[in-house]
Amino acid sequence: MQAVGILGGMGPAAGADFVRLFVQACTRHLQDQGLPVHDQAYPEHWLVQLPMPDRTQALRRDPQSPEGPAAHLLQGAGRLAALGVRSVALACNTAHAWHGQIQALFPQLRVLHIAQQTALYLKAGGARQALVLATDGTYDSGLYDAALADCGIAALRPGQAGRARLMQGIYEGVKQGDMPLAMQCFGEVLAPLLQHHGAVPVIMGCTEIPLALPQAPQACGAELVDPAWILACALAQDAYAH
């Protein structure tokens, strides 16, 4: 086993939930390999939660501003590197706008890419198109559009009104602890998209969205894809790699 790291704080609840997903992914790995599941079978893993400036606002203003998230992300990655981790997961979709910068500065780390891992997962399942529910920052960066296109998958997204409703659910809902509002916002965006596009995979492309959307009535029966879970599984694979 090798030590791995999780860079969180975006928001803190999403970072903490990613640890839960990682532990679940480790448990599944052990069970799939027919190995005993006990405390000592889990790899060393570190969570760094830093108070992180808003990623979407930074992308709209100056992505490299000293007051923006870039310096904080690099600081967090540096702390994980100093702890001896080999692979790192960013527990935030929008933060992957700085993925290349982090990887370039810390070549000794394998910085996993959430959109690329998700696109490979969907390609393996034969998907040709997928709905992307995300923040404005993720949409504007083209994070999922590029990764999905590389795998021959068309990215579908809501219009401006739907995007605004998603942002409300993320910022006024999940980030402020108002889960009923988040469920309402996310569900109202999802329902007409499924009616229009049919039964296509739904990428929950913000780590706050899986905390509320699965409980929304409109999501019942939908093929919800959680990139955080896919990323957690990839991190677990790295942790157990020889």
pLDDT digits (tens, 9 = 90+) for 118-168: 999 999 999 999 999 999 988 988 999 999 999 999 999 999 999 999 999
Q: What is the pLDDT of residue 124?
A: 96
Is the distance from CB of 240 to CB of 28 less than 8 angstroms?
A: no
119 in the same domain as 107 = no
Report long-range pairs for 151-155 (Cβ below 8 Å, ≥24 apart): 151/119, 151/120, 151/122, 151/123, 152/123, 152/128, 153/119, 153/122, 153/123, 153/127, 153/128, 153/129, 154/128, 154/129, 154/130, 155/129, 155/130
131 in the same domain as 66 = no
pTM for the whole structure: 0.91
Planar angle of CA 51, 56, 60, nearest 5 degrees: 125
Under the banding of pLDDT at 50, 70 and 90, the label for residue 10 is: confident
Under the banding of pLDDT at 50, 70 and 90, the label for residue 12 is: confident
**Total length of the chain:** 242
Q: Give the sheet arrangement for strand 4-8, strand by strand.
A: 45-49, 4-8, 87-90, 110-111
DSSP classification of residue 198: -
Q: Does residue 53 carry a pLDDT above 90?
A: no
Residues with Cβ < 8 Å from 46, sequence gap 6 or more?
3, 4, 5, 6, 80, 83, 85
* Least confident segment among 5-19, 59-73, 187-201: 59-73
Q: What is the pLDDT of residue 217?
A: 95
234 in the same domain as 137 = no
Q: Does residue 66 carry a pLDDT above 90?
A: no
Under the banding of pLDDT at 50, 70 and 90, the label for residue 233 is: very high
Q: How many domains does the chain have?
A: 2
Burial (CB count <10 Å: 0-12, 13-18, 19+), residue 204: buried
Q: What is the pLDDT of residue 133?
A: 96
* Least confident segment among 23-32, 60-69, 181-190: 60-69
Q: What is the pLDDT of residue 141?
A: 87
171 in the same domain as 87 = no
Tell me which residue of 183, 176, 14, 198 sits closest to 89, measured CA to CA.
14
φ/ψ of residue 218, rounded to 5: -65, -20
CATH number at residue 44: 3.40.50.1860
236 in the same domain as 222 = no
160 in the same domain as 129 = yes
Planar angle of CA 127, 133, 138, nearest 5 degrees: 105
145 in the same domain as 102 = no
Question: Which range marks the domain in which residue 86 is found?
Answer: 4-113+229-240
84 in the same domain as 98 = yes
130 in the same domain as 218 = yes
Q: What is the pLDDT of residue 132?
A: 96
132 in the same domain as 88 = no
Measured in whole angstroms, the distance separating CA 18 from the mean position of its chain's CA atoms is 9
- Mean predicted confidence (pLDDT) in 99-118: 96
Question: SS3 for 142?
Answer: coil
* Mean pLDDT, all residues of the chain: 93
Q: How far apart are CA 170 and CA 146, in angstroms?
A: 23
Under the banding of pLDDT at 50, 70 and 90, the label for residue 234 is: very high
Phi-psi domain of 37 (left: phi exceeds 0; alpha: psi -120 through 50; beta: other): beta
**Which residues, listed in sequence order, are joined to residue 23 by a DSSP beta bridge?**
none
Q: What is the pLDDT of residue 9?
A: 87
217 in the same domain as 138 = yes
Share of the chain above pLDDT 70, in %: 98
Under the banding of pLDDT at 50, 70 and 90, the label for residue 3 is: very high
69 in the same domain as 144 = no
